[in-house]
Structures are given as C-alpha cells and as structure tokens.
C-alpha cells in the first residue's frame, strides 16, 4: 500500500506543480509584455523575460537541446522513483515538486519556444537572476531531498561502523 500511496502522491504533486507553473506562465504572458516590470513590493518585482537557454541562462539559443535532455532526465528519474523501494510520502511529494517543475519548464520550451521567467528578487548582493514558479518548486524539492539523503547516509554508515 505504501508504494501505491507514494506513487499517487508523486504523480498528483507533479501534475499540480505542472498546472500551477503553466498557469503562472500563461498569466505572465497575457499580462506583461516581454521586458515589462511590475513592482509588487520593494524586494519583489515581476519582470517578464524569456530564457532560451539552461539554468541561469547558460547556452542561450539551445531550447530544443535543453528540452530533449530534460525529457530524458525526467523520464529516467520518474521511472527510477516509481520502481524504488517505498519511502515516506513527504519524499514522494518532494520528488513530485522536482519532476513537476522540470516538466513545466520543458512545456514552456516546447510550447512557447523559451522558458517564461518573471520572479525578480531585489536587494540581494550579486543576485541578478530572474526565475519562475517551476524553478521555485524544483528548489523546494531538491534541497530537502538532499538533506534527507545525507542524513539517511549518515545514519546508515553510523550503524555499519558499529
């Protein structure tokens, strides 16, 4: 039952993240011209930019290369997760955040020809990146997953050392 529940949590989370991310891309596309900025708070702007490259805008102009590579990674990681031994439902949800966010960026690339980025945080020294909802979900999924993996490894090696 745990495997089935976790698969369901993973799939539903990924679909919800995909839907929310695509909805935010649609709203930005419909309401902000490319390059236009709206100030929401002194530290938070919405600035509509298009990323035709990878993370942090590297290798601009290679939209389909990143889409193809991302699709392969998403499929391989999803299959690996769904075949893995049962984990806690929170880990399934975190992995759904990662896969849903990655899939949303792929959909942006394939449907819009680029990733729609718009979240522009102000006041952080040396920070000039604009990102999107999918990126936020990817980070919400990745960082706790890494911490959990490190703690599990420490626990496992601590037990093996005795």
Q: Can you name the residues that pair with 33 across neighbouring β-strands?
A: none
Of 29, 108, 117, 160, the catalytic one is 117
The answer to whether 104 and 18 have CB atoms below 8 angstroms apart is yes
* 3-class secondary-structure state, position 62: coil
Tell me if residue 160 is catalytic: no
Give the Cα separation of 103 and 72 in Å (integer).
11
Of 29, 108, 135, 160, the catalytic one is 135
How far is CA 71 from each of CA 63, 64, 103, rounded to the nearest angstrom? 12, 10, 8
Tell me if residue 135 is catalytic: yes
Q: Which residues are catalytic?
A: 117, 135
């Amino acid at each position: 039952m745990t495997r089935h529940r976790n698969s369901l949590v993973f799939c539903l989370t990924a679909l919800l993240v995909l839907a929310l991310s695509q909805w935010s891309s649609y709203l930005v596309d419909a309401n902000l011209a490319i390059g236009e900025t709206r100030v929401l708070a002194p530290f938070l702007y919405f600035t509509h930019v298009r990323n035709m490259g990878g993370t942090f805008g590297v290798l601009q102009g290679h939209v389909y290369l990143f889409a193809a590579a991302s699709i392969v990674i998403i499929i391989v990681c999803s299959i690996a997760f769904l075949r893995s031994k049962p984990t806690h439902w929170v880990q399934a949800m975190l992995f759904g955040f990662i896969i849903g966010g990655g899939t949303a960026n792929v959909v942006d690339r394939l449907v819009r020809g680029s990733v729609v980025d718009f979240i522009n945080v102000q006041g952080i020294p040396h920070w000039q990146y604009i990102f999107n909802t999918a990126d936020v979900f990817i980070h919400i999924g990745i960082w706790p997953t890494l911490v959990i993996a490190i703690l599990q490894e420490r626990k496992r090696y601590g037990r093996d050392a005795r």
